Chain A
Amino acid sequence: MGVDSASISEARRPAAETSVRPPSTAHSYNVRICHWINLVSCVYLLWSGVHIFLDFPELYWGHTGYRGHPAAFRLADWGLSWEEAGALGDRRWGRNYHFTAAWVFLINGLVYVVWNLYSSHFRNRMWPARAERTVGHVGAELRDHLRWRSRTHAADGSYGTLQKASYLILIFLFVPLMILTGIAQSPGFTAAMPALLDLFGGRQTARTLHTIATVALVLFVLVHVLEVAAAGFFVKVRSMITGK
């Protein structure tokens, strides 16, 4: 509430009114708390997931996959033998922390999504306005990015269109994909919801997609941190902590 995006407020209000009540782009309590809980749970999920993967460093398509079965990816082809990988990973530690962090991630994510649907955060700050959904606008933003130049109109702290799109795709496409491909590997959950196996075409496909989506998410985080650095790392991180 009260966090209108700059473009909406500019379009609807006379200029004089904005000086009375400037559009607030500060991060709400909910966004800040969920952001940092999310970061901690994701670090654990990634690190424990790597441990689990190293214990069986091969990926397959379909319902089955085991040592000797034709693989889609083998770490051994990249110079790390099965034994070496197994010595690096600890799946007992990995499984315990992966499923603990998964619950933290899930509950935190649900609180974030429900809260911000209710508070219209997604609609006001993350859904691109009509003027932003044009080829010209997106093209101009893209050029700015490629020239390593920050958006001239970003001084008020509102999100860029590319930024909005990537956040929305991440939250509503990649995160559900991660959760579903994760539980599609579980013998318990797939007995209760066999449709998960059909959705992905098998448990091993789900495991492979889970791994590919992990790489995509890591790349997203790298770009995210790079963008934060480009916009002023200290100021941006402080605003995600203090809200100012």
Chain B
Amino acid sequence: MSMRISRRAWLTTSVPALGGLLLTGCSRETFVPPRVRGGLIGAADVLTMSTNRLLLSGQQLAREYSRSDVANPFPTWNQTNPRNAEYQRHASEGFKNWRLPISGLVQRPRELSLDEIRSLPARTQITAHICEQGWSAIGEWTGAPLQRLIEEAGGVTPAARYVVVDTFDGWYEGYDLFEVAHAQTILAYRLNGRDLPRGNGAPLRLRVERQCGYKNLKFLKSIRVVESMAGIGRGTGGINSDFGFHWFAGV
């Protein structure tokens, strides 16, 4: 009896979930990291990522909180002021001459100024920043959806698989198109109602709310769309996984 109910429950939840995945055009990249590590650790990586992605096949939003939950000032961690000369010049000019190039496998590669990004339809979300170390803080982020920015460059070409974000402090990270398409995946230029402070990643930082803090890159320099993560850093998919952290940081 209980057997029959659980089987029915399994079918009613899993079949639409799989259907949803097929409709959103998911492929291998949705379930498996760009480079699968060896042994049991690699198998666990795939299990973690596939389970997460199956459960999130409806592109559900991460929990959004109320304004009274916001941490003000928002904590800063790691790099708070890249020493990079180009970054310092942009910062001293108030990022007036800063441009974000969108290149690679897009229909019309282009550059966007901060004002152009600010003029795009914006999304504001009060979400928890969840550091893999164990701390978490809630902030109100305002920015342009990454998907919208890529559409400003004409959208991706059929071969596109990952969006790579590069930063002024030398970080780089790849994101599969499933993560890019999520409504809360935004490039934030405002935090708690004010221009994004330098310590939190001015002029622009990425928000991927369903992954840990280290995937939320600060001090954005450029965006490129690629077919494969091979040849970028050590080829594992990003700077964090190059250092041995999980590429998929949903846990």
Asked if B151 is at the interface (CB within 8 A of a chain A CB), the reply is no
* A95 touching B246, Cβ below 8 Å: yes
Among residues of A, the one whose C-beta sits closest to the C-beta of B52 is A188
Q: Per-residue 0/1 for B215-251: is the Cβ within 8 Å of any A Cβ (1 yes, 0 no)?
A: 0000000000000000000000000000111100111
* A96 touching B209, Cβ below 8 Å: no
Asked if A141 is at the interface (CB within 8 A of a chain B CB), the reply is no
Stretch of B53-61, B84-92, B104-112, B187-195 that contacts chain A: B53-61
Among residues of A, the one whose C-beta sits closest to the C-beta of B210 is A191
**Could you tell me the distance in whole angstroms from the C-beta of A225 to the nearest C-beta in chain B?**
26
* B63 touching A197, Cβ below 8 Å: yes
Asked if A238 is at the interface (CB within 8 A of a chain B CB), the reply is no
Q: Which B12-68 residues sit within 8 Å CB-CB of chain A?
A: 40-41, 43-44, 47-48, 52, 55-56, 60-63, 65
Q: Per-residue 0/1 for A89-120: is the Cβ within 8 Å of any B Cβ (1 yes, 0 no)?
A: 00110011101101110000000000000000
Asked if B11 is at the interface (CB within 8 A of a chain A CB), the reply is no
Neighbour of B62 across the interface among A91, A97, A187, A207, CB < 8 A: A187
Among residues of B, the one whose C-beta sits closest to the C-beta of A56 is B134
Number of interface residues of B (CB under 8 A): 38
Interfacial chain B residues near A66, Cβ < 8 Å: 71, 75, 131, 135-137
Q: Per-residue 0/1 for B90-133: is the Cβ within 8 Å of any A Cβ (1 yes, 0 no)?
A: 00000000000000000000000000000000000000101111
* A63 touching B128, Cβ below 8 Å: yes
Interfacial chain A residues near B56, Cβ < 8 Å: 188, 191-192
* A68 touching B63, Cβ below 8 Å: no
* A189 touching B244, Cβ below 8 Å: no
Asked if A19 is at the interface (CB within 8 A of a chain B CB), the reply is no
* A192 touching B245, Cβ below 8 Å: no
Interfacial chain B residues near A242, Cβ < 8 Å: none
Interfacial chain A residues near B62, Cβ < 8 Å: 187, 190-191
Neighbour of A187 across the interface among B47, B130, B138, B245, CB < 8 A: B130
* B136 touching A64, Cβ below 8 Å: yes
Q: How far is the CA of A55 from the CA of B131 in the complex (A)?
A: 11
Q: How far is the CA of A100 from the CA of B43 in the complex (A)?
A: 8
The answer to whether residues A189 and B246 also contact, given A55-B133, A66-B75 and a CB cut-off of 8 A, is no
* B52 touching A91, Cβ below 8 Å: no
* A91 touching B132, Cβ below 8 Å: yes
Asked if B200 is at the interface (CB within 8 A of a chain A CB), the reply is no
Q: How far is the CA of A55 from the CA of B44 in the complex (A)?
A: 22
* A100 touching B71, Cβ below 8 Å: no
* B250 touching A186, Cβ below 8 Å: yes
Q: Per-residue 0/1 for A76-88: is the Cβ within 8 Å of any B Cβ (1 yes, 0 no)?
A: 0000000000000
The answer to whether residues A99 and B44 also contact, given A187-B250, A203-B130 and a CB cut-off of 8 A, is yes
Asked if A67 is at the interface (CB within 8 A of a chain B CB), the reply is yes
Asked if B146 is at the interface (CB within 8 A of a chain A CB), the reply is no
Interfacial chain B residues near A185, Cβ < 8 Å: 130, 134
Q: Which A195-224 residues sit within 8 Å CB-CB of chain B?
A: 197, 203-204, 207
Neighbour of B134 across the interface among A52, A97, A188, A190, CB < 8 A: A52
* A188 touching B41, Cβ below 8 Å: no
* B130 touching A189, Cβ below 8 Å: no
**Could you tell me the distance in whole angstroms from the C-beta of A116 to the nearest C-beta in chain B?**
16
* A192 touching B55, Cβ below 8 Å: yes
Interfacial chain B residues near A189, Cβ < 8 Å: 52, 55, 250-251
**Could you tell me the distance in whole angstroms from the C-beta of B244 to the nearest C-beta in chain A?**
5
Among residues of B, the one whose C-beta sits closest to the C-beta of A59 is B134
Asked if A65 is at the interface (CB within 8 A of a chain B CB), the reply is yes
Asked if A159 is at the interface (CB within 8 A of a chain B CB), the reply is no
Asked if B211 is at the interface (CB within 8 A of a chain A CB), the reply is yes
Neighbour of A192 across the interface among B52, B136, B209, B243, CB < 8 A: B52
Q: How far is the CA of A204 from the CA of B136 in the complex (A)?
A: 8
8 of the cross-chain contacts (CB-CB < 8 Å) are A63-B128, A92-B244, A95-B132, A103-B44, A187-B209, A187-B249, A188-B52, A191-B56
